[in-house]
Amino acid sequence: MDSFKIIWRGSEIGNYENIVFDMWYIEGDWISNNSISANEFQATASKLDAKKVMNDLKCGMKIFLHDNSSTNPPVLAIVYSLDKKFLFVRTVNEKEAIKWVEDNVD
């Protein structure tokens, strides 16, 4: 898997490239598609504090990652931080956790 499409609030906002996996965490470069939604995502995500999000996932942002080389459904993830173009997220895979994130994280 080389990259993901990033979907936020129902809109594709760019790509996630040069990704590194560490269990359920992913780090990599966010490449904006320069849409209005992407600009709003960048402004909001840049204000996140990773430590605060780790302590309270409700403080993060919900996104979906779609593997560009696959037909698999998108993976739910929580944004912990965005520093310039460096995006840090946690994937959510368990059924109960997915429901909780969908109900509690914007």
Which residue type does 7 have? I
**What is the distance between the alpha carbons of residues 85 and 16, in angstroms, rounded to a whole number?**
10
Is the whole model's pTM more than 0.75, yes or no? yes
Structurally, the chain folds into a number of domains equal to 1
Q: Which residue has the tokens 């993830």?
A: 77
Measured in residues, the chain has a length of 106
Give the structural domain span for 32.
Answer: 3-104
Encode pLDDT of 12-62 as tens digits: 999 999 999 999 999 999 999 999 999 999 999 999 999 999 999 999 999
Encode pLDDT of 75-96 as tens digits: 999 999 999 999 999 999 999 9
What backbone phi and psi angles, to 5 degrees, belong to 103? Answer: -85, -20
**What is the distance between the alpha carbons of residues 76 and 27, in angstroms, rounded to a whole number?**
15
- Which is higher by pLDDT, 69 or 27? 27
**What is the distance between the alpha carbons of residues 91 and 94, in angstroms, rounded to a whole number?**
10
